[in-house]
C-alpha cells in the first residue's frame, strides 16, 4: 500500500505543467492584410464591431470627444450617431440583440442604445470598463486586468469570470475584445500584441504581433502614431459574411482587413 502511494505521489509531482494550472504554449500567428481603407475622421478607438455591413465604433475623449459612430467599411466615411462630448470616457462596445452596449472607463456607466445611437437604458458596471464583446447568450468584458467577465445582457450582472494565462503567467491589460467562432480575441494594451483565448479555460491559444502594420503606413501616419505611446492597436471587428477581421488602433487613420495566418 505504501509503495502504491509513493508511486502515485511521484506521478503527480512529475505531471505536466498544464495539469497544475498552466496552459500549453500559444501558437504564433501573423496578420495577412487583404485590404485597407482610410477613415474620414480619426478617433481614440476603444470598441469596434461589424454589424449588418457596417462598422460601429466607440471612442474615448483623451484626445477628442467620446462618440458612437458608424463607419462605411468600403469608403471609410464616419457618421456620428452620438457625441458624448466630455461627459464620460467611452470604452468597449458590442451589439447584442440588435442593441448597442457601450461601456465607460471609470464612470461605471453602461449605455444601451438603438442602432442610431439613441439611449434606451443605463446599467451600472462595478469595475472599470475596457473591452466588450458577446457570445450567443452573454456579454464578455475586460477591465484592464487579466480577468474576463461574463455578464447578463439584461442587467449587466456578473455570471462568471476567467483568468487569462499565457502558459503559467497571467496576461494583464486585456483591452478591446471580439468573439469569433468560439474564441475570444483581445488587444493587449500598451503592446502591439493580439491574443486568441479559450473562454472556458482562459488559456491563450495563439498570439500575433501586429508591428508589421506600422510598416504599411505612410511616413506621415507613422509620425502621428509615434507621437504618443497610447496609439497602439485597439480595435478588432469580425465580418462573418466575408470571413475577415478588420483591425485598427487608437488615433489610427487606417482600417486594415485580412486574416490571421498560423492559427
For residue 10, name the pLDDT band (cuts at 50, 70, 90): very low
Q: Please count the CA atoms within 13 angstroms of the CA of 59 that sit on its side-chain side.
A: 33
Q: Is residue 112 part of a domain?
A: yes
Q: Is residue 5 part of a domain?
A: no
Q: Is residue 6 part of a domain?
A: no
| Statement: residue 6 has pLDDT above 80 | no
Residues 169-217 pLDDT 10s = 999 999 999 999 999 999 999 999 999 999 999 999 999 999 999 999 9
What was the pLDDT predicted at 62? Answer: 83
Beta strands in 90-198 (DSSP E): 90-96, 99-104, 109-113, 119-124, 132-134, 139-142, 147-151, 158-163, 165-166, 169-170, 174-180, 183-188, 193-197
Residue 116 and residue 99: Cα distance in Å, rounded?
9
Residue 249 and residue 170: Cα distance in Å, rounded?
24
Picking from 88, 22, 20, the residue whose alpha carbon sits closest to that of residue 60 is: 88
Q: Is residue 18 part of a domain?
A: no
User: Phi, psi (5° rounding) for residue 218?
Assistant: -70, 165
Q: Is residue 129 part of a domain?
A: yes
Cell 464578455 belongs to: 140
Residues 96-143 pLDDT 10s = 999 999 999 999 999 999 999 999 999 999 999 999 999 999 999 999
What was the pLDDT predicted at 63? Answer: 79
Q: Is residue 191 part of a domain?
A: yes
Query: CATH code at 211?
Result: 2.120.10.30
Q: Is residue 87 part of a domain?
A: yes
**Long-range pairs of 232-235 with CB within 8 A, sequence gap ≥ 24:** 232/187, 232/189, 232/190, 232/191, 232/192, 233/187, 233/192, 233/194, 234/45, 234/46, 234/175, 234/176, 234/187, 234/189, 235/45, 235/47, 235/48, 235/57, 235/176, 235/187
Residue 152 and residue 162: Cα distance in Å, rounded?
15
Counted domains in the chain: 1
Grid cell digits, residue 98 = 440588435
* pLDDT (average), residues 164-171: 97
For residue 7, name the pLDDT band (cuts at 50, 70, 90): very low
Q: Is residue 16 part of a domain?
A: no
For residue 263, name the pLDDT band (cuts at 50, 70, 90): low
What was the pLDDT predicted at 260? Answer: 98
- The overall average pLDDT reported for the chain is 92
Which structural domain, as residue segments, surrounds residue 191? Answer: 24-261
Amino acid at each position: 500500500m505504501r509503495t502504491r502511494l509513493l508511486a502515485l505521489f511521484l506521478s503527480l509531482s512529475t505531471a505536466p505543467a498544464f495539469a497544475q494550472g498552466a496552459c500549453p504554449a500559444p501558437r504564433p500567428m501573423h496578420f495577412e492584410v487583404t485590404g485597407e481603407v482610410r477613415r474620414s475622421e480619426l478617433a481614440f478607438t476603444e470598441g469596434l464591431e461589424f454589424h449588418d455591413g457596417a462598422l460601429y465604433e466607440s471612442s474615448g475623449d483623451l484626445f477628442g470627444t467620446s462618440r458612437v459612430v458608424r463607419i462605411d467599411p468600403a469608403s471609410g466615411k464616419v457618421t456620428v450617431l452620438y457625441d458624448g462630448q466630455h461627459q464620460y470616457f467611452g470604452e468597449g462596445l458590442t451589439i447584442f440583440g440588435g442593441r448597442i452596449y457601450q461601456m465607460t472607463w471609470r464612470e461605471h456607466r453602461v449605455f444601451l442604445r438603438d442602432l442610431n445611437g439613441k439611449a434606451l437604458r443605463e446599467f451600472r458596471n462595478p469595475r472599470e470598463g475596457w473591452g466588450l464583446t458577446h457570445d450567443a447568450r452573454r456579454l464578455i468584458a475586460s477591465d484592464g486586468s487579466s480577468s474576463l467577465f461574463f455578464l447578463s445582457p439584461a442587467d449587466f450582472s456578473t455570471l462568471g469570470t476567467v483568468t487569462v494565462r499565457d502558459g503559467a503567467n497571467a496576461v494583464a491589460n486585456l483591452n478591446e475584445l471580439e468573439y469569433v467562432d468560439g474564441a475570444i480575441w483581445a488587444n493587449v494594451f500598451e503592446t502591439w500584441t493580439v491574443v486568441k483565448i479559450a473562454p472556458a479555460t482562459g488559456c491563450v491559444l495563439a498570439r500575433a504581433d501586429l508591428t508589421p502594420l506600422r510598416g504599411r503606413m505612410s511616413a506621415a501616419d507613422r509620425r502621428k502614431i509615434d507621437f504618443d505611446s497610447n496609439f497602439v492597436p485597439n480595435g478588432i471587428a469580425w465580418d462573418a459574411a466575408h470571413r475577415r477581421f478588420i483591425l485598427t488602433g487608437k488615433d489610427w487613420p487606417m482600417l486594415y482587413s485580412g486574416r490571421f495566418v498560423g492559427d
